[in-house]
Amino acid sequence: MNVPFVDLRKQYAPLKDEILAGIEKALDGMQLFLGENVQQLEKDFAQFCGAAHGIGVGDGTVALQIILRAMGIGPGDEVITTSHTFIATAEAILLAGAKPVFVDILPDTCLMDVSQVEAKITPRTKAILPVHLYGQTVDMDPLMEIAARHGLRVVEDACQAHGAEYKGRRAGSLGDAAGFSFYFSKNLGAYGEGGFISTNDSELAAKIRMIRDHGSNVRYHHEMVGLNGRLDEVQAVVLRAKLPHLADWNTARRDHAARYADLLKKLPVKTPVEASGSRHIYHLYVIQTARRDQLQAYLKEQGIFTGIHYPVPIHLQKAVDYLGYKPGSLPVTERVTSEILSLPMFAELTDEQIEYVATHVGKFLTEAVPVGS
């Protein structure tokens, strides 16, 4: 049996006719950006998140960058975040001209250790950027309290958290603003690049809209230096077709995660932990084992495709070595990144596939199965 890491064809097949008809209509109209599909998606996904305003943008990286710029964050400023995330989190801070300051993570959830944030605040700190990693939100209440005490903005990196909940509220409505990615493998993914910004701040939303369209509200009249960060109509068609199914797909992922947890519970492996008050939507199902590399190689031999998200933490990447971090700077992050393995996870997984994966994880961990035999 082959078990893909993600199977986009299974998701596409039942939506194919609707998506193709929507794309044909968009192409017939030839208003290819900031048209009716983008505008409707902005309303619908903002409502889904529980936010007052939604702005479609080109991708998740530019979403975070635009938010920071709209907040006036730039050269000389610092933004506190985590190193265990895709590099786009830090890229957005750096592209805005600011400096990322990293705190360590919790070993069970791999999310920001909020207890470490206050010690990192300096007179240059302007914002905190929590990453809702793998599909679960950071513990936001104490983080928002810290931010309020110090007059800081909070920007959610919700790029993996489409529909994740914290105490009954969805990601995208918890901080001052949030950036989402619609990368194709996300719980809500485009068929190309796409991103989204949500906020409850009307003034901030207006600045974000201008920045994403070259600093303009009226064509050829530019109030500020912006960038080309627009979401196109074709991607909006795809996302509008998918959005009504997102809640059900997230429920399916949660069911799959529960099945994995039941099958793996007696094995010498650490399975994901859902924090109190959270509703994890399992963008990724990430286990931890000291024998990660050997397990991954064995599973590949069995036709099971896995991922590592992410093998090298940002603070140890060559691209940012000038920031001065060294091995040992973030011990929990560094240990976790040597042990994490993402198992196949997508809404259309079958029980048979999950059982096949779990069976072979168990065989490797308990029977000392040789790799490459």
Strands (E), the chain: 53-57, 78-82, 99-103, 125-128, 153-157, 165-166, 169-170, 177-181, 195-199, 216-218, 221-222, 278-279, 285-288, 340-343
Q: Each residue of 87-139: pLDDT tens digit? A: 999 999 999 999 999 999 999 999 999 999 999 999 999 999 999 999 999 99
Cβ-contact 49, 178 below 8 angstroms: yes
pLDDT of residue 32: 82
Return the pLDDT at 372: 67
What's the confidence (pLDDT) of residue 31?
82
373, pLDDT greater than 60: no
Q: Give CA–CA dist 232/235, Å, rounded.
A: 6
Q: Whose CA is closest to 124, among 154, 95, 157, 101? A: 101
Statement: residue 370 has pLDDT above 80 = no
Which domains are seen in the chain, by residue range?
8-103+110-244 (3.40.640.10), 245-367 (3.90.1150.10)
368 — phi, psi (to 5°)?
50, 45
Mean pLDDT of the chain: 97
Amino acid at 210: M
Question: Residue 211: which H helix or E strand, with range?
Answer: helix 202-212
Each residue's pLDDT tens digit, 182-229: 999 999 999 999 999 999 999 999 999 999 999 999 999 999 999 999
Separation of alpha carbons 314 and 331, rounded Å? 13
**pLDDT tens digits for range 310-368:** 999 999 999 999 999 999 999 999 999 999 999 999 999 999 999 999 999 999 999 86
Q: What is the pLDDT of residue 39?
A: 98
Global pTM reads 0.97
